[in-house]
Structure 1
């Protein structure tokens, strides 16, 4: 019989505490946009599809940035990519503020009228022709999109380095716990941003919420610069080029990445991108808040639940002979959560669904990344993290672009019910991949030395 799990936690290494602190602060910028933008779309005249594009733009950017980020970590170390990635995310958060402060395009028509008429061949560029690019530059959606693109570049570096730092300072006996701690740190700032975006925007306005998030995001880079040392032993291939397709294609990396793909599609793409609209249509509110504020609280509760179970799942996986069973348990929990969401009609129903979905998402995170580290050589862990992030970002990027238009067509319940199937499929992918790589469905916690 395996050992009984224990949930007692030792103090994480100091470097991980520094990583947690900095990723917590920068996470505000990731969460603040979700309660605000879906509702803001109607006010600004942004279509549902464009809102989905903006919300998922950072993930599409990471598709080409994750692999170079992972390769850079394996070649140059973790400290500089981590610090610069946080700084880029802080600057990106300021872009939200700029988006809301840009003047209406019509108020700048005088600029177009003041520009001279220029003839290019048979085409004369007068005021009407000059006005189109001016309107594009000052459009809020342009700045929101640019901010999300910049955020994607920064977060690619942060994600690749944070997980690699955790792998560098861990072994088989504490790898699940440390991965869960780091993943929890990355995500704990997100619910704070959700609350900030929902509650502060309801009380003080959208600009105030974005300014506060930007201040904390910039503080994160200062914390990292002061407290995060170098942890990674780099290779001797610094002069070789870094390419978007330079990813780890081993069975463990692809297996974990495909599981992450499915979970992120349902979690970010379906739940987070549509919750504020679901609340408005079903007239569900909490604490007297409007749909934006209520969605921020519910999403924050979901992520807090995820963070708690990240730690618990990682710790349990460290105390068992194999990480596979605990992963399957939490995938089933995620399945149950989306079934509950499809039937939710009250505040209590929705709270229970969010609790289950958060628990399922979080409970898989620590053990899943620990399993990847168990089965991946140290010198390839940066690239393996990049593969996991690439596939997760495909899922998270496709989710809003597919779910938002489909909900307008078929409604919420069918989409949420379909998302319940995804964790079950992910469980099958996990079992097949693990069996193919190790010859067993229940591999041990420590990779075999080769």
Structure 2
């Protein structure tokens, strides 16, 4: 009785497994350049304001590419994005390593963002193709676990390369792993959007016409966009910008201790994500998303107000747990909101919402710190409270916007 389902699952994982390897490679390459981005930019003689642009332009490029990439995925298939995106990343990395002035470096960082948007959107859509409503959470959990693993390994490798061969070495490393990923994708990955995959949950129907407004009319979709915006906002505003400042200014932590604290939070997220993917197929995804967003708000509030180091560490662990809990459920829920034949734009717009938060986070947090007083030991607390309020609002809005879904047919759990 189970022969066909088991055979289908085996066939799916023969596609998913190499795709996860490619995701790990691409994210490892992106992580390689993180330790040297600011230092490499500084080597061109520019000031702090311009140095920040080297990070911002990458996110801005992805912001503009995600939705068009999703449309292209539905119109022409996923496979071209899966090898073309890494190819763009690799070429732009070589050009960045050879850049002779800062303006040229910025241009190629923007192109890297384009390649990232093409690939990451294509990969998410392809994973969603292979996961039906009862298994999509596990597929998304595996995808995000590979992503987080690569992002964790990359900075260590990049730091070692830079220490031995200089600031451009991580860019050459990024080019190498991206080239390998492109070659592997071209040789090993089939097109997932085709009738042969219909039984595996692929979106094979002719695309419906309509724009962003039509997508936003899908019940539950706008609230999950707000949650995704908040999660990416938290990543850059709280984890990258404010938490290190709290650790240094309030508790006097040295850079190595700050790095260990952030690694703890990221490690908890990495460990939680596979379990969260499994849960997303067994309990209502709406509940996981609300619990995750609300817990992120609580964790950020604790970090903003905590007076002791042990409480700070505990709040960081809670933050990592909360972020890992909701990731697969949010992606699977959004995929379940897709109108017939419009899975690509649906997930492309989801990534766009995230990248808006990615870009806006440091700007809003910096403004909140600048205008705040020094309550709770420093202005950084005000920025964390603003972030916490955003996540609390997102949790409430999602709960209110989905309370009549019992559940969505495409979100039915096993």
Q: TM-score, normalised by structure 2?
A: 0.80
User: Paired residue for 1:413?
Assistant: 381
Q: Which has the higher contact order (CA 8 A, sep 6+)?
A: 1
Map residues 18-417 of structure 1 onto 2, 5 A cutoff. 18-38=18-38, 46-99=46-99, 102=100, 138-139=101-102, 142-198=103-159, 201=162, 205-233=166-194, 248-251=215-218, 252-273=220-241, 283-285=252-254, 291=255, 298-320=261-283, 322-343=284-305, 351-377=313-339, 379-404=341-366, 407=369, 410=372, 411-417=379-385
The 3-state SS of whatever aligns with 1:193 is helix
Given that residues 79 and 231 in structure 1 are in contact (C-alpha distance below 8 angstroms), is that contact kept between their aligned partners in structure 2? yes
Given that residues 79 and 229 in structure 1 are in contact (C-alpha distance below 8 angstroms), is that contact kept between their aligned partners in structure 2? yes
In 2, Cα distance between equivalents of 1:55 and 1:359 = 26
Deviation (angstroms), 1:261 = 0.8
Map residues 434-445 of structure 1 onto 2, 5 A cutoff. 434-435=402-403, 439-440=404-405, 442-443=406-407
CA displacement, residues 144-198 of structure 1 (integer Å, 9 cap, x when unaligned): 4223311221122222211211221111221111111112222321122233345
In 1, Cα distance between equivalents of 2:33 and 2:366 = 16
Q: 1:316 to 1:310 in 2, by over 3 A?
A: same
User: Paired residue for 2:391?
Assistant: 423
In 2, Cα distance between equivalents of 1:15 and 1:394 = 31
Given that residues 27 and 147 in structure 2 are in contact (C-alpha distance below 8 angstroms), is that contact kept between their aligned partners in structure 1? yes
Paired positions, count: 386
Deviation (angstroms), 1:444 = 5.0
Deviation (angstroms), 1:295 = 5.7
In 2, Cα distance between equivalents of 1:28 and 1:331 = 27
In 1, Cα distance between equivalents of 2:43 and 2:381 = 26
Q: 1:415 to 1:302 in 2, by over 3 A?
A: same
Deviation (angstroms), 1:43 = 6.5
Given that residues 197 and 206 in structure 1 are in contact (C-alpha distance below 8 angstroms), is that contact kept between their aligned partners in structure 2? no
Q: TM-score, normalised by structure 1?
A: 0.75
In 2, Cα distance between equivalents of 1:376 and 1:73 = 14
CA displacement, residues 372-426 of structure 1 (integer Å, 9 cap, x when unaligned): 2223245111010011011111110112334346556653222123212222111
In 2, Cα distance between equivalents of 1:43 and 1:344 = 38
Structure 2: stretches of 5+ with no match in the other structure? 1-8, 195-203, 373-378
Given that residues 79 and 228 in structure 1 are in contact (C-alpha distance below 8 angstroms), is that contact kept between their aligned partners in structure 2? yes
In 2, Cα distance between equivalents of 1:334 and 1:380 = 31
Alpha carbon RMSD of aligned pairs, Å? 3.4
Q: Which structure's CA Rg is the greater one?
A: 1
